Amino acid sequence: MDARSFRRRSIVSFVGIFFGQSIGFLSYLLIGLFRNNALPVGWVGVAVIWYSVGVVVFLGARIAIPYVDPVILPIVFALTGLGLAMIHRIDLAFPDDRADMPSQFIAVVVGVVALLVIIFFLKDPRRLKGFPYLLALLGCFLLLLPLVPGLGREINGARIWIGLGPFSFQPAEVAKLVLAASFAAYLADNKEVLAGAGRKVLGVELPRLRDLGPVALVWGVSVLVMVTQTDFGTALLFFGLFLAMVYVATGKGSWVIVGLGLFLAAGTVAVQFTSHIQRRIDYWLRPFDFPPGSDPYHDATQIIQAQFGMSSGGLIGTGWGLGRPTLVPFASSDMIATSLAEEIGIVGLMAIIILYGLLAFRGLKAALMATEPFLKLFGAGLSFVFLLQSFIVIGGATRLLPLTGLITPFLSQGGSAMMVNWMLVALILVISHQTRRPVIELDPTSTAGVTGLEDEATQEISVKVLAQIGSGVIQPVQQINGEQIRLGTDGAPLVKPSEVYQISYRSPEPVSEAAALGVARHHDEDTYFGRGTD
Amino acid sequence: MAEFTVLVLKIAFLAIVWLFIVFIASVVNSDMVGRRQRTQASVDSAWARKRKNEPWVLAIDSGAHAGDRLQLVPKVRIGRSDACELVLSDDYVSSMHAILSRQDNGTWVIRDLGSTNGTYVNGNRLQDPTIVGPADIIRVGEVQMRLEL
């Protein structure tokens, strides 16, 4: 009966964050060297500021969530650094004193503060579990907020911004977080219903028609976003996120098939009604039929120039600062992937894609190890956000998919996205800490350890133990037939359900593999994700 | 800057980026399995009981959980409630139905906890706590189970 736990990998974590940050910093130095034959002016100050952000995040994580996954933060810092360097490089290409990099850096700092707030004050994300419908409403409200006259702003054909004085903000970014929590809370409660089998058509077991309600609802909102805001990318992101989470919760591929069919149908219809999406598809399929014209923002210039940029970059790129990424409209936001591909080559872009893959993989791994259905689904959903978003946006920039105006996570210029992505990472970090933390022993001879759950100091225990008991109530003393049965009165401790659960899918012993105890079986049914071990 | 120097620096930079990925991969690799942690419960492990020739497995023969072989813990509460060690989703099982506990001498005693449908050992409804061994068939609701060595 072993439980698995992980070490606090502080040194690895620290070295990793430093290493990740150095990639961005080296890029910054190379830009100066390649463009001006000299290190940038004030590079020491930049180094101090940049690395101190890493140190602060490292210390915060070390104190608040010591068992955190050691590679997530380094990856995030590497991506953020690359993005900042590219934005800085594009700043330099403009003759006026364009300073997008400092403002982006401020967004990073705000994101880091948000991350610290979450890891210190929201150590138990299950607090979000209580109100799935409220969160869903809030998410839809945020999604549709840009439609409000006077508040919403249409920029470059997509109405996804709201204006607050001089600032503009993309509420859909916050909606990602809110809706992921809402889907997770809803599915954690209702997955058995959705897992019910329906009729078989062509060998595919279709879901029951009456369970389609929630799917239809999310689908409807996605279509609404697609048509009213002409934002295909956001619609695809949210619907894809929902489908992925339904699949994780139920293990039924038929949901994905049905959902994708519905989405394609909706897309086909939407194309008929909105010229914007139709144009995007035309530019994707045959960009050279739309030669660069007077208005570079409304023809295929973006795609064509991005293609030329990548081809001039070739295998190892032109070198930092030596390409012409600014020929592409939105070189530092939508098209940052191709800007990077031009200057650090396909070898560099592949590295970036692998970093996204590793980031999502570590998030999914944390979700896989979580025993509580909500945390499992929430973690998986957050990871899928990164996976889907980087796929949609890099796919769009490299002409694998129609181009959509999504943000490349951590790379693209865009304050609201940067902030929210750091918050998503913070939640993944918290989940990874919760799942990697050793299970804390309760003292078998007394009930103190159990009642102590109410104490703030031992609050974290409850996540693991309460989660297993399911009903959410630990009763230290059970009154049965007028006789008190204590936990472990005979000196031999009762096996905590959390341990039982862990054995049930991790121990190599054949007996326990058949689900060590009834509790384990009960939770196996709860957690389809846990079927395969990692 | 000389073209050659640029080329060298470019390649060096990409090498560092990929070195970072190798670093991440090696951390992931060393992190794959976590560390086995001996828990208090493992001290009283199944293997110890197996050596002493005591029952250590509860085999379920019929009902919804038929075929499961569950590792025994010193006190197994059986019932529908989530607080039980053995949760049976059987309509005829009370929320706290019975308790199977190990005595200090290594024998196992089953006791009914005032269940609606009763607990049966070899077909006889249980009145008092009874010692059970591998030869006895325990029935709770529609679920039949027995101890195994």
HEC string of A386-424 equals: HHHHHHHHHHHHCCCCCCCCCCCCCCCCCHHHHHHHHHH
Q: Which of A28, A82, A440, A517 should we substitute to test contact with B (largest number of B Cβ atoms within 10 Å)?
A: A517
Q: How far apart are CA A525 and CA A205, in angstroms?
A: 20
| Side chain identity, residue A413 | Q
- Chain A residue numbers touching B76 (CB-CB < 8 A): 517
CB distance A492 to B44 below 8 Å: yes
Q: How far is CA A429 from CA A29, A353, A360, A379, in A?
A: 30, 21, 12, 9
Q: Do A16 and B1 touch (CB under 8 A)?
A: no
Order across the sheet with A167-169: list the strands. A152-155, A158-164, A167-169
Beta strands in A116-230 (DSSP E): 152-155, 158-164, 167-169, 197-201, 204-207
Return the pLDDT at A372.
82
Measured torsion, CA atoms of residues A25, A29, A34, A39, in degrees rounded to the nearest 10: 170
Q: For tokens 């120039």, what's the residue?
A: A305
**Both structure tokens of A17:** 């964050």
Q: Higher confidence at residue A313 or residue A505?
A: A313
B83 has a chain A CB within 8 A of its CB: yes
Q: Which ipTM did the prediction report? A: 0.78
| Element of type H or E holding B36 | strand B35-38
Q: How far apart are CA A378 and CA A304, in angstroms?
A: 38
pLDDT of A494 higher than 60: no
Q: Do A33 and B31 touch (CB under 8 A)?
A: no
Mind telling me how many Å the CA of A2 is from chain B's nearest CA?
5
Return the pLDDT at A72.
95
| Side chain identity, residue A241 | L
Local confidence band at B34 (pLDDT 50, 70, 90 cut-offs): low
Return the pLDDT at B44.
52
pLDDT of A190 higher than 90: no
Q: Higher confidence at residue A29 or residue A437?
A: A29
CA A258 to chain centroid, in Å, comes to 24
**Both structure tokens of A494:** 């009762």
C-alpha gyration radius of chain B? 27
User: Looking at chain A, which residue has its C-alpha nearest residue B43?
Assistant: A1
CB distance A424 to A385 below 8 Å: yes
**Both structure tokens of A20:** 């990740």
Q: Could you give the angle at the alpha carbon of A360 between the alpha carbons of A6 and A205, nearest 5°?
A: 110
Return the pLDDT at B6.
92
- Chain A residue numbers touching B38 (CB-CB < 8 A): 2
**Both structure tokens of A530:** 């846990």
Between A37-46, A198-207, B64-73, B114-123, the lowest mean confidence (pLDDT) is in A198-207
Q: Higher confidence at residue B117 or residue A527?
A: B117
Q: How far apart are CA A31 and CA B149, in angstroms?
A: 72
SS3 content of chain B, % helix, strand, coil (to 5): 25, 30, 45
Q: For tokens 């133990």, what's the residue?
A: A465
Return the pLDDT at A282.
84
| Chain mean pLDDT for chain A | 76
Return the pLDDT at A30.
95
Between A412-416, B46-50, B75-79, the lowest mean confidence (pLDDT) is in B46-50
Q: Higher confidence at residue A200 or residue A347?
A: A347
Q: Which percentage of chain A shows pLDDT scores above 90?
A: 33
Residues contacting residue A361 through CB under 8 Å, at least 6 positions apart: A383, B28
Q: Higher confidence at residue A161 or residue A210?
A: A161
pLDDT in tens, A210-252: 666 777 787 788 778 777 777 778 888 888 898 899 888 888 8
B75 has a chain A CB within 8 A of its CB: yes
Q: How far apart are CA A62 and CA A41, in angstroms?
A: 33
Residues facing residue A207 across a β-bridge: A197
For residues A518-523, give the mean pLDDT.
39
Mind telling me how many Å the CA of A533 is from chain B's nearest CA?
10
The terminus-to-terminus CA distance of chain B in angstroms comes to 79
C-alpha gyration radius of chain A? 25
pLDDT of A18 higher than 80: yes
**Both structure tokens of B144:** 């039949």
User: Looking at chain B, which residue has its C-alpha nearest residue A470?
Assistant: B82
B136 has a chain A CB within 8 A of its CB: no
pLDDT of A81 higher than 90: yes
Q: In terms of residues, how long is chain A? A: 534
CB distance A168 to A215 below 8 Å: no
Return the pLDDT at A488.
34
Residues facing residue A169 across a β-bridge: A162
Question: Other CB atoms closer than 10 Å to residue B142's CB: what's the count?
Answer: 15
Q: In terms of residues, how long is chain B? A: 149
Between A201-215, A235-249, A270-284, A456-470, the lowest mean confidence (pLDDT) is in A456-470
Local confidence band at A63 (pLDDT 50, 70, 90 cut-offs): very high
Q: How far apart are CA B37 and CA B47, in angstroms?
A: 17
Return the pLDDT at B45.
56
Write the DSSP symbol of residue A94: S
- Chain A residue numbers touching B75 (CB-CB < 8 A): 485, 488, 490, 492, 494
**Both structure tokens of A459:** 């609050």
Pairing label, strands B86-87, B75-79: parallel
Q: How far apart are CA B96 and CA A195, in angstroms?
A: 29
pLDDT of A497 higher than 80: no
Return the pLDDT at A80.
96
Closest C-alpha among B77, B53, B147 to residue B108: B147
Q: Which percentage of chain A shows pLDDT scores above 70?
A: 74
Return the pLDDT at A216.
77
